[in-house]
Amino acid sequence: MATAKQNGFVTASRGLGVPILLLVMLAMMMVPLPPLALDTLFTFNIALSIAILLTAIYVARPLEFAVFPTILLIVTLLRLALNIASTRVVLLKGHTGTGAAGKVIEAFGDFVVGGNYAVGLVIFAILVIINFVVVTKGAGRVSEVTARFTLDAMPGKQMAIDAELNAGVIDQEAARERRREIGEEADFYGSMDGASKFVRGDAVAGILILFINIIGGLIIGTSQHDLTFAVAVRNYTLLTIGDGLVAQVPSLLLSTAVAIIVTRVSRSQDMGKQVFIQLFSDHRTLYVTAAVLATIGMIPGMPNAAFLSFAAICGFAGYRISRKPEDTAADQITLPDIEAAAPEIGWQDVDPLDMIGLEVGYRLIPLVDKQRDGALVVRIKGVRRKLTEELGFLVPAVHIRDNLDLAPNAYRISLAGVPIGEGEIHVDKELAINPGQVFGTINGLQTTDPAFGLEAYWIDAPQREEAQLLGFTVVDPATVVATHLSQVLQDNANELFGHEETQQLLERLAVSAPKLVEELTPKILPTSVIARVLQNLLEERVPIRNIRKIAETLAEQGTKSQDPDVLSARVRVALGRTIVQNVAGMRAELPVLTLDPELERILNESTQEGSSQGLEPGIVERLHETLTEKAQKQEITGEPAVLLVAPNLRPWLARMMRGVRNLSVLAYDEIPDEKRIQMVAAVG
């Protein structure tokens, strides 16, 4: 109990730190401070600025110092309050000598500049130029640009997270955490853009305070204290310069801290280690530097010892770096040898057909090496898990093997032994995908995203941040293959489902609803009909997770018809709420396209026998073009593209429009009663 009370007291005490500091700053502006208090506060200000600078250097990621903009504001106000307090003391007691405002100001005004106020003015001017013109201006520009590009890159980063989530690389919790980090990053750089203006304004205030103190001190010293002009100039100028230098040193430290924070990359890294690695990783740099220094050192009249000494140091460092062993051995996997001949051939030599196969070229073998936890193996496991949850049945395992007949960087996806997708990736690069709206161009190897056919570029890893700032969605090679595999499996889920999977689903349902399964099969419907109905649903991207509802509908309608197409239509009606939600989400209104009454009459007359043989080819072609155009317009506006038709036309139109990925064909009776319909256009 005592420990808990102590912890609570410590937490409360920490929470009072900032309010107390603000009250102290207010008191400093109003109440005259003795020289000892000024010495203490100036020393505290310098120590605090050094601590902030070191924190900016050693922090691993800029977001780990997210409170920096607030600290910057508080420390700037503290320094301005100290300027007000010191100005009061300088003007009131400056006639007594250079020690009137405390030992710290006296030391900076006397010892640091040697008691020469002309030298002090020059040093102060140089510090102001460095702080105001170089560091502060550059940091402010970087803050402004970084904030703008961070906000512009947010949609691309969000799409990258969605792509990894859809590929099964990350779960919902990880995606939520990364979205939160993106929001915090945007807030941080936006705050830094504004906070950098505090530092710039503080530098301007330092210049104005210097002139005000000197002019005000001369007037007060000569008119009120009867000092000679020379004595007044010496006393008040040295005091003002000391005060200015004491303020400018912490200001320069804070400006440097701002510049370090905003020029760092967002990923976690130790800055000192990264600077050393990136600056001195190549021994050739040190060799050339040593040669240049040695050449200069041999010129007569130059400080030969200094240049030759540093040339020797650089040459020795380059030699040591060049002698470090490099791990340049390529990852190699020994493939199993094929025996020359078999003594006897039997049924055991007939390999079963892989339901899902992935073949890779030899350069992609490290991605699928299970012994080294290849990145692609992990991604594929995530894809299977995600699709199993979404579709409602266990997706078969993916059999991976190398194929020397493929190009080194190529891969091929096959279904039941038939290739249905292929592409090429570069294991040492990343794919920057143009989602449709980017803010510039990027240098890279132009290609096409294999999953969705979007414009893309293969870029080097250091270009990732630049591409994301421009609005590109950047993914690694393993995610490219995993996303392509996920898309192919979703499009062909019906071919992955068969009698064995149907039996497994019915056995699992029998645990919770034994009477339903006992009545359904084989009394009402055979397993083959049930399997065909489920395949029809998967073919049109309708998940079969709600197997209980599907079984109840089949048990009810199976006594009237055993035609799989008819039963599939009735099951779709029962699953209408699920289908509409998958298409349009939770929106209250469903925007739909409909057929012109005359066109609908023609289609009804032509498909009375269940086929479109009586329909003119020109009409079919124009209808397909018109619906494709309407669907694209809906996609551009961010609305779902839904064609609402009569139940008897829906199966035929759904098959005809299957190539249009973003168009859903629904029947009137599949729309839930509570869902409102919004007419977008009638297709004629």
Q: Give tens-digit pLDDT for 508-557.
A: 988 888 898 888 888 888 888 999 999 989 988 889 989 999 989 888 98
pLDDT of amino acid 664: 85
pLDDT of amino acid 458: 93
Question: CB of 431 within 8 A of CB of 425?
Answer: yes
CA nearest 244: which of 135, 31, 51, 101? 101
Kindly give the interhelix angle for 576-584 and 564-574, rounded to the nearest 10 degrees. 70
Do 352-494 and 502-574 agree at the fold level? no
Please classify residue 112 by burial: count the beta carbons closer than 10 Å to its beta carbon, then call 0-12 exposed, 13-18 middle and 19+ buried: middle
Q: Where are the alpha helices (DSSP H) in 497-649?
A: 499-512, 514-519, 527-539, 547-557, 564-574, 576-584, 597-606, 617-636
Q: How far is CA 176 from CA 137, 170, 463, in A?
A: 36, 10, 25
pLDDT of amino acid 102: 65
Tokens of 426: 């570069």
Tokens of 566: 């008819």
Q: Which CATH number, 3.40.50.300, 3.40.30.60, 3.40.190.10, 3.90.1150.10, labels domain 352-494? A: 3.40.30.60
| Mean pLDDT on 198-208 | 72
Least confident interval from 280-294, 491-505, 584-598: 280-294
Between residues 399 and 262, the one the model is more confident about: 399
Tokens of 92: 């009131």
Residue 10 — pLDDT band, cuts 50, 70, 90? very low
pLDDT of amino acid 447: 92
The count of other CB atoms within 10 Å of the CB of residue 45 is: 22
User: Residue ranges of the domains in the chain?
Assistant: 28-153+166-264, 282-320, 352-494, 502-574, 585-684
CA nearest 148: which of 472, 469, 473, 474? 469
Write the pLDDT tens digit of every residue in 349-363: 666 777 899 999 888
Question: CB of 457 within 8 A of CB of 417?
Answer: no
| Mean pLDDT on 469-480 | 90
Query: Mean of the per-residue pLDDT values for the chain?
Result: 77
- β-partners of residue 683 are 595
Q: How many CA atoms lie within 13 A of 430 on its CB side?
A: 17
Residue type, 67: V
* Residue 99 reports pLDDT greater than 90: no
pLDDT of amino acid 275: 59
Write the pLDDT tens digit of every residue in 357-394: 999 988 888 888 776 667 888 888 888 999 998 899 99
pLDDT of amino acid 432: 92
State percent of the chain over pLDDT 70: 77
Specify the fold of 502-574: Helicase, Ruva Protein; domain 3 (1.10.8)
Least confident interval from 270-284, 466-480, 530-544, 659-673: 270-284
**CATH superfamily name and code, 585-684:** FHIPEP family, domain 4 (3.40.50.12790)
* Residue 337 reports pLDDT greater than 80: no
* Residue 137 reports pLDDT greater than 60: yes
Question: CB of 244 within 8 A of CB of 206?
Answer: yes
| Mean pLDDT on 248-274 | 68
* Interatomic CA distance for residues 482 and 478, integer angstroms: 6
pLDDT of amino acid 341: 46
| Mean pLDDT on 291-312 | 77
Residue 277 — pLDDT band, cuts 50, 70, 90? low
* Residue 6 reports pLDDT greater than 50: no
* Residue 185 reports pLDDT greater than 90: no
* Interatomic CA distance for residues 305 and 319, integer angstroms: 21
Residue 320 — pLDDT band, cuts 50, 70, 90? confident
Alpha-carbon torsion angle 191, 194, 199, 203, nearest 10:
180
| Mean pLDDT on 192-216 | 73
Between residues 266 and 236, the one the model is more confident about: 236
Three-state secondary-structure class, residue 594: strand
> Which residues have a Cβ under 8 Å from the Cβ of 35 and sit 6 or more positions away?
89, 99, 100, 101, 102, 103
Residue 410 — pLDDT band, cuts 50, 70, 90? very high
CA nearest 377: which of 386, 389, 365? 365
Least confident interval from 11-25, 171-185, 476-490: 11-25
* Residue 279 reports pLDDT greater than 70: no
* Interatomic CA distance for residues 415 and 34, integer angstroms: 85
pLDDT of amino acid 78: 80
Residue 413 — pLDDT band, cuts 50, 70, 90? very high
Between residues 668 and 129, the one the model is more confident about: 668
Question: CB of 430 within 8 A of CB of 475?
Answer: yes
pLDDT of amino acid 65: 74
pLDDT of amino acid 666: 86
